[in-house]
Structure 1
Amino acid sequence: MIRLSLIIATYNRAGQMLRVLESVVAQDAPAGEWECVVVNNNSTDDTEARFAEFAARHAEFNLRMVTERNQGLSHARNRGIAESTGELIAVIDDDERINAGFVRAYIAFFDAWPGAEAAGGKIIPEYPSGRPDWLSPLTERPIANPLDLGDAVCEFPASRIPGGGNMAIRRRIVERFGAFDVTLGRVGGKLVGGEESDFFERLRAGGIRLWYVPEAVMWHIIPSSKLTSDYFRRLSYHVGESQRQRAKMHGRYAKALLVEAGKWCASLLLACTLTPRRSLWLLRMRWGITRGLLARD
């Protein structure tokens, strides 16, 4: 019986998709207890053919691909959830790899904690081209979203949520609160996000506690293309844009501006403690987020 469904949305990243699938078929959980649903979100490369070849070579696993014609990460993830069959749903991304005990860890957690509804695991950034010297913990977060709350199961602090590439929920959560808001999230190459923050905000507002599962480990692979000045500028702007969208959706735009002003004060103070290069990139990030937050709809 399928107990857990892994959902992977992909768009024009066939090579990266195969890398995460290699870690998927290395799972130590019994193959009959889980499935992997890959959602092809209108890829124009050889994603479909390469997946078919991979699945044929690993026929002992429950691997399948579905297509979502509506462009966007939220659309794709929602399609994967709708097509899946497990009572537990884990969402991962195509730019990562997971540890061999990933599926087992989430199944064991939800079995041991029958009242738990939503969880997330450890996220470890991986830099194949090397970690740049300008990267500080502050500027790393929007790029790689590292997450390590220790080695024991615990509740997420109010300031953090599970990463979108390492989260798991019970299916009844989607039935109760809905899935990802399709007006939010990345579409093609546009870096606007916010769908995960929105999803977990709805859960918390409904009284759902979010749990950290340290044995579910994901390595977020950051290519050199995501470490350029141009990418960081666009990413920072779109972080602010997604914050603006969500703030206006919930009628708290004025509060968001006040919070941003406070973050400027904190950033300026923190910049004094960093190397000049790290300080510069921190202030670039803050400026980009502010521009996105102040932009017109």
Structure 2
Amino acid sequence: MNPHIRISLVVATYNRSAALVELLRSVAAQRLDPALWECVVVDNRSTDDTAARFEAFSREHPDLPLRRIYEPKQGLSHARNAGIAASRGEIVAIVDDDERINPDFLTAYVELFDSRPDAASAGGKVIPVYETGRPHWMSLYTEKPIANPTDWGGRVRPFPDGHIPAGGNMAFRRSALERCGLFNPDLGRIGDRLIGGEESDLFARLRRAGEPCYYTPGAVIEHIIPARKLTRDYFDRLCYNIGVSQRIRADLDGRTGRLFLGEGMKWGAALLLAAGYLFMLRPAKARRLLGMRRQITRGILG
């Protein structure tokens, strides 16, 4: 490990070359000394012009510590694990290729881990940016699976109980990953397959090992949401696969019964919330909320 590299930024990408370049522009604007960081882009078998556009960007920014590696095993968990293995920093930050990071993103994570020697992991703020505007049917509850907005205030604090950092804005002390393991390749997106749960699985292992997780408001990402992710078909597929992911994790952990019990309780809450939206004359919010619950339940049972 290069002792001068404090933090490695790992980005997995698959067939989103234009979005990747937008992210890299925000990486190029980092205020942290380039001698202290690196950015590892993991090309997960892209078939578009990702390689060419990355090389062009690198030539335009020869002083930036940018690297691209190729991971032939399809899947987000495979790609992230490859990026972690190829990186050299004592801290590993992970973002997605459909985001922009603020200029002090890397600085915030370095300062967090320096000021909290017990910190094993951390997460920051997530701000959704809707290219075509926030849809009228969206509520606080139906926004979470699409954009996962995250804001726990303006000070560093332990991550609240029952919550974990967003998958597109999380960081780890490398030693904690060495103790608790990386992402489970049985979970996580594979190509266009919307399976998830790999972050929840990793943070559950860290939590069981007693590894503290902190929130830092200085690490901010904008999550870019295109129109195609706001269609009914995409939302239904996403929610169905959330249910599939929850069932896989429950089966692996031997807690399937608890999953079914919890889903029943969530149905009760969803019905009460939907009734409230109907009372406020917001039927679209009620319909989409109940549709989300139905698709998640289908995924669990399927």
Give 1:119's match in structure 2, choosing from 118, 122, 126.
122
Q: CA deviation at 1:83?
A: 0.2
2:99 corresponds to 1:96? yes
2:254 corresponds to 1:247? no
Which residue in 1 is equivalent to 2:5? 2
2:290 corresponds to 1:283? yes
Which residue in 1 is equivalent to 2:28? 25
**Where in structure 2 are the equivalents of 1:1-297 lying within 5 Å?**
1-274=4-277, 275-295=282-302
Q: Over the residues paired in the alignment, what is the CA RMSD in angstroms?
A: 0.5
Aligned length: 295
SS at 1:199 equivalent = helix
Question: Residues 123-157 of structure 1: CA distance to partner in whole angstroms, max 9, x if unpaired?
Answer: 01110111100000000000000000000011111
Contact 2:118 2:212 in 1 (8 A): no
Counterpart CA distance in 1 for 2:32 and 2:137 is 40
SS at 2:11 equivalent = strand
Question: Residues 64-83 of structure 1: CA distance to partner in whole angstroms, max 9, x if unpaired?
Answer: 10000000000000000000
Give the letter for the 1:291 counterpart: R
Q: CA deviation at 1:241?
A: 0.3
Question: Residues 78-109 of structure 1: CA distance to partner in whole angstroms, max 9, x if unpaired?
Answer: 00000000000000000000000000001111
SS at 1:97 equivalent = strand
SS at 1:273 equivalent = helix
Question: Residues 202-235 of structure 1: CA distance to partner in whole angstroms, max 9, x if unpaired?
Answer: 0000001110000100111100000000000100
Counterpart CA distance in 2 for 1:244 and 1:211 is 28
- Unmatched 5+ stretches in structure 1: none
TM-score computed with the length of structure 2 as normaliser: 0.97
Q: CA deviation at 1:176?
A: 0.5
Contact 2:121 2:173 in 1 (8 A): yes
Counterpart CA distance in 1 for 2:82 and 2:157 is 30
Counterpart CA distance in 2 for 1:147 and 1:85 is 28
Counterpart CA distance in 2 for 1:170 and 1:109 is 11
Contact 2:197 2:249 in 1 (8 A): yes
- Unmatched 5+ stretches in structure 2: none
Contact 2:127 2:220 in 1 (8 A): yes
Superposed structure 1 runs of 4+ greater than 4 Å apart: none
